[in-house]
Structure 1
Amino acid sequence: MSDVLDPARYTVAWIAPLEIEACATLHLLDHRHRDRFPLARGDDYIFHAGDMCGHNIVIGTLPAGQEYGTGSAAALASQVKKFFPNLWFGQLVGVAAGLSRPNGDPPPRYSAGLVAYDLGKETARDSFQLLRFGHVLAITEVMVRPAIGSIKLEAPNNVDIFLPYYDAIKDKEHATGTFADPGQDCDMLYEFDDDGGAREVGRPRRPDARRTRRNELRDRYNVIELEMEAAGTMNRIPVGVIRGVCDYGDPHKNKEWQPYAAAMAAAYAKAVLMEIHPRATTSPDSQPAATAARGGPVFNGPISG
């Protein structure tokens, strides 16, 4: 008979709403805690557990069939907060739509925070105005921001610190394949013009009503990506948001890049954990049962597709 895991021993919540995001995380665990947490009536989620970089972490994901978005993420985060009494901080890790800039440069100014872009209004000029422009909805968790700063200081290009974690799992399997890079031939960015057309070399133009708003959010408000769960999570537990870009938020999006983006985000999140010294809990000294894991060493709103 298996033992029961003690929720009081877990201090870091890793929120991975999509199945592919949770799968990448499980591969990156240093050890998997195979036993289960006790469940009672009203507990709607089953959590996975393990340790990573000296931290006992709990992994929360949405069950198959549950609609993704702010409401679902809020429900999951609320149960995490209720179930784990010694929760220190969390990381919301997964995929997002990146808003590509023609010159490839980062925005001239940015905030380490989140804005709900669905809270806006159409203007007389058929434009879009954010109602909360200049006011972030929530700030990235204070423990995560210094860790990210430390990574940038040690490796200005970042990849030297987190890429080995990705390399360790890129050939691991998930339900439909591996986490390998699909290759640049599969990276299609469509160019839009002022007439509402979209074109890739040799392809016809396509109208896209959402394109205007997407590009306006990028150019006017310096938005770098669109995602769906952070607002619901950050209002309930303190989290850092780490996202890998899997599409450009346009009508041509598909899921081909999701595994790679999820694995890269998880690898960076593990590098963040490595920068944060583990925190002791007040629970008894009994250690969770562990087995070796198979792996080794913004802005919020609905995304069409």
Structure 2
Amino acid sequence: MITSGNGHDDVHASDLALNVAQLPKPRTPADDDQTGPTIGLITAIPEEFAAMRALLEYPTEHYVERDPALYILGYLPSRKAARSHRVVLTLLGATATNAAANGCTNLVRSFPTVVAVIMVGIAAGVPNPYRPQHHVRLGDVVVATEGLIDYDHVHALADGVQPRRQFPLPSPRFARCADMLKADELSGHRPWEHWLGEGRPALAGYGRPPQHTDVLHDSGGNKLDHPPRNRSGHRKGAPKIHYGAIGSADRSLRDAATRDQLANRHGFLAIEMEGAGIGSSSFLNNLEWFVIRGISDYGDKQRNEVWRRHASLAAACYLRALLAKCLPLEPQFGPDRAEATSLR
């Protein structure tokens, strides 16, 4: 058994059948070239993988010699209508930072045209009912515009702990695109909601759960009330998008008191277990990186799987909207190298 970044137990990913045969029949857009992908999308658990795969256009399976991973090649819209992003999606063989770093390194080795890597999936949210504007609820999305905090990578000193070094910064390119989406939202335009609503892919169990299942507890297990929506900025039946920092470490968190202590110390809005591996590996491979997380639980002992699928889809929908704000990326290497690694 392995444990997901938000504290859920999962069987090994290879033990779960991913029925690619049920995907739409692939086609190749005539207006896109066939050089390698420029954006790598990484998921940690099957629910995340299925959600992201369902939003890809023209998905096709791809295997690389001496790489055990299954890859899905596909397209996502860019800011240039005539030219889509070519992306490659994969599912890690396990959760936590080491598996994430290994998966990222393998992806980059197998697809040397990749310029940026994005981790997309679920996380535990940090609720804050006493500061409504900072309150994170189930089904929300947290975008790591302020980066990741590897909160267990520390010096243990006599007077406490201190971070060992500053974590590499996330992609300025994607952070600017997130700012544009934030500006659009102020004008009432939320493109990710289309894919969560009327445009939602036909995936069983990915609809938004009943609101009464979003139950908040304090560290003693007592139920707490969520703040009124008009104070927290939540719209009924829709996710709130949060921008800030995400905590990441090899720690499966299932305690509200520890969650709140860490969040107060470091200032993050969600906690997961793969982002630090993705950020470190991307930095060492001279790649841009970014993390988007849907909130599936609160990192406490009451956690369950009710919101897992919907939170996975919420993160994937936001990612699609984000890339639609981004101009097409050029391959990591020049034309000669890109042609040599062509996937035609």
Q: TM (normalized to structure 1)?
A: 0.75
Q: 240, 248, 254: which is aligned to 2:298?
A: 248
What is residue 104 of structure 1 aligned with on the other side? Answer: 132
Q: What pairs up with 1:126-165 in 2 under 5 angstroms?
A: 130-132=161-163, 136-156=166-186, 160-165=190-195
Distance 2:212 2:275 in 1: 31
CA shift, 1:70, in A, is 0.3
What is residue 213 of structure 1 aligned with on the other side? Answer: 258
What is residue 6 of structure 2 aligned with on the other side? Answer: none
CA shift, 1:210, in A, is 3.4
Work out whether residues 294 and 314 of structure 2, in 8 Å CA contact, stay in contact via their aligned partners in 1.
Answer: yes
Gaps of 5+ in 1: 202-207, 290-305
Deviations 1:235-267 (A, max 9, x none): 122211000110001011111111010000000
CA shift, 1:268, in A, is 0.4
SS in 1 for 2:292: strand
What is residue 114 of structure 1 aligned with on the other side? Answer: 148
Q: RMSD of the alignment, in Å? A: 3.2
CA shift, 1:213, in A, is 2.0
Distance 2:65 2:92 in 1: 18
Q: 76, 84, 90: which is aligned to 1:60?
A: 90
Distance 2:206 2:258 in 1: 31
Q: How many pairs are equivalent?
A: 260
Distance 2:269 2:44 in 1: 21
Distance 2:210 2:166 in 1: 35
1:166 aligns with 2:196: yes
Distance 2:254 2:43 in 1: 30
What is residue 90 of structure 1 aligned with on the other side? Answer: 117
Letter paired with 2:68:
D
1:200 aligns with 2:261: no
SS in 2 for 1:9: coil
Work out whether residues 124 and 296 of structure 2, in 8 Å CA contact, stay in contact via their aligned partners in 1.
Answer: yes
What is residue 233 of structure 1 aligned with on the other side? Answer: 278
Distance 2:187 2:296 in 1: 20
Work out whether residues 11 and 88 of structure 1, in 8 Å CA contact, stay in contact via their aligned partners in 2.
Answer: yes
Gaps of 5+ in 2: 1-27, 78-83, 136-143, 225-252, 283-287
Q: Are residues 97 and 123 of structure 1, via their aligned partners in 2, closer, same or farther at CA, if it must alter by over 3 Å?
A: farther
Q: TM (normalized to structure 2)?
A: 0.67
Work out whether residues 114 and 231 of structure 1, in 8 Å CA contact, stay in contact via their aligned partners in 2.
Answer: yes
Work out whether residues 44 and 91 of structure 2, in 8 Å CA contact, stay in contact via their aligned partners in 1.
Answer: yes
Q: Are residues 122 and 183 of structure 1, via their aligned partners in 2, closer, same or farther at CA, if it must alter by over 3 Å?
A: farther
Q: Are residues 31 and 200 of structure 1, via their aligned partners in 2, closer, same or farther at CA, if it must alter by over 3 Å?
A: same
Work out whether residues 118 and 289 of structure 2, in 8 Å CA contact, stay in contact via their aligned partners in 1.
Answer: yes
1:75 aligns with 2:102: yes
1:50 aligns with 2:74: yes
CA shift, 1:165, in A, is 2.0
Q: Are residues 7 and 78 of structure 1, via their aligned partners in 2, closer, same or farther at CA, if it must alter by over 3 Å?
A: farther
SS in 2 for 1:138: coil
Work out whether residues 115 and 138 of structure 1, in 8 Å CA contact, stay in contact via their aligned partners in 2.
Answer: no
CA shift, 1:186, in A, is 0.7
Deviations 1:87-123 (A, max 9, x none): 111211000000100132229xx97111112235889
Deviations 1:63-88 (A, max 9, x none): 4xx3x100100110000111111111
Q: Are residues 95 and 124 of structure 1, via their aligned partners in 2, closer, same or farther at CA, if it must alter by over 3 Å?
A: same
